[in-house]
């Protein structure tokens, strides 16, 4: 068993998740690369180890109860506590006007972006509760801001995605629910928006690099004791719900 600070980042085999893991590794965390794809997860962990970071691969499909339970069992054999959980895994499929989005696509998006987060967070709470300063980070999006969505003249107002946007609104509500529940135990639970980051999610059309997008996740994962909980933040500060 080790008392070195440990972080689990879901969907960390590429993009923002990989850069969050890299950033936490650089400041001394043991980082577990959660990935449902074994070859990509192993490759990502090996890439970080080549940079002298303490990185391990953890098979994890956030949509599968058995996979999450197996990941918890594996991690529990290796560490006695989990200091940070970054719920980064997310998808967006079936882009199109809300009137034409297929319900099967919306369901698949929610299965990862919302239910997967709840499933994973609940499963790893026993290990998180053993940490002295537990942190949970939800990687959200300003597209989930209802204040933004209700402003027809807002920047990128045309990005009106029924499944993805509403899943991030739901994720923000999930963030607040967990924050209120876990605050008496010293948890800091917050949502972070990476900004319009170039990743596979948007066919690499974003204006920000994955390293820039990862910064908010790293910051929220390492908040001091007097840091906020139950908030929604990006690089510029607080984001309106």
DSSP notation for 48-100: HHHTT--EEEEE--TT-HHHHHHHHHHHHHH-S---EEEE--------S-GGG
Q: Is residue 195 part of a domain?
A: yes
Of 45, 70, 218, the residue nearest 210 (C-alpha): 218
Domain that holds residue 197: 6-238
Q: Is residue 39 part of a domain?
A: yes
Rounded Cα gap, residues 49 and 64, in angstroms:
28
One of 29, 110, 164, 196 is an active-site residue; which one? 164
Give, in order, the Cα–Cα distances in Å from 218 to each of 29, 101, 110, 167: 11, 33, 24, 22
Of 19, 122, 17, 120, the residue nearest 60 (C-alpha): 120
Rounded Cα gap, residues 77 and 146, in angstroms:
41
Give the pLDDT score at 26: 97
Q: Provide the residue-wise pLDDT of the chain in tens; the chain has 241 residues.
A: 446 899 999 999 999 999 999 999 999 999 999 999 999 999 999 999 999 999 999 999 999 999 999 999 999 999 999 999 999 999 999 888 999 999 999 999 999 999 999 999 999 999 999 999 999 999 999 999 999 999 988 777 788 999 999 999 999 999 999 999 999 999 999 999 998 665 656 555 655 788 899 999 999 999 999 999 999 999 999 999 9
Of 117, 118, 106, the residue nearest 166 (C-alpha): 106
Give, in order, the Cα–Cα distances in Å from 180 to each of 118, 192, 232: 15, 17, 14
Give the number of domains in the chain. Answer: 1
Give the pLDDT score at 208: 72
Rounded Cα gap, residues 75 and 70, in angstroms:
9
Parallel/antiparallel/unpaired status of strands 84-87 and 6-9: parallel
CATH at residue 226: 3.40.50.720
Q: Where are the beta strands (DSSP E) in the chain?
A: 6-9, 30-35, 55-59, 84-87, 135-139, 188-192, 232-234, 237-238
Q: Is residue 154 part of a domain?
A: yes
Phi-psi region of 230 (alpha: psi -120 to 50; beta: other; left: phi over 0): left
110 is catalytic: no
Count the neighbouring beta carbons within 10 Å of the beta carbon of residue 100: 8
Give the pLDDT score at 155: 75
Q: Is residue 1 part of a domain?
A: no
Give the pLDDT score at 128: 98
Parallel/antiparallel/unpaired status of strands 188-192 and 6-9: unpaired
Exposure letters 180-203 (e unless 16+ CB within 10 A, then b) = eebeeeebbbbbbbbbbbbbebee
């Amino acid at each position: 068993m080790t008392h070195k600070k440990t972080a689990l980042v879901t969907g960390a085999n590429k993009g923002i998740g990989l850069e969050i893991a890299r950033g936490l590794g650089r400041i001394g965390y043991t980082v577990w690369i959660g990935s449902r794809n074994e070859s990509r997860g192993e490759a990502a962990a090996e890439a970080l180890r080549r940079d002298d970071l303490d990185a391990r691969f953890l098979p994890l499909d956030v949509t599968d109860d058995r996979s999450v339970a197996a990941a918890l069992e594996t991690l529990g054999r290796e560490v006695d506590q989990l200091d940070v959980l970054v719920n980064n895994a997310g998808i967006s499929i079936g882009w199109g006007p809300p009137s034409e989005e297929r319900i099967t696509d919306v369901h698949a998006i929610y299965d990862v972006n919302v239910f997967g987060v709840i499933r994973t967070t609940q499963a790893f709470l026993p290990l998180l509760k053993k940490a002295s300063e537990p942190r949970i980070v939800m990687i959200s999006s300003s597209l989930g801001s209802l204040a933004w969505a209700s402003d027809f003249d807002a920047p990128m107002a045309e990005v009106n995605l029924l499944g993805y946007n509403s899943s991030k609104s739901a994720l923000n509500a999930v963030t607040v629910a967990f924050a209120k529940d876990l605050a008496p135990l010293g948890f800091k639970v917050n949502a972070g928006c990476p900004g319009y980051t170039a990743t596979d999610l948007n066919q690499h059309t974003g204006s920000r690099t994955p390293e820039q997008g990862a910064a908010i996740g790293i910051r929220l994962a390492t908040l001091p004791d007097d840091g906020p909980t139950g908030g929604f933040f990006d690089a510029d500060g607080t984001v309106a719900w």
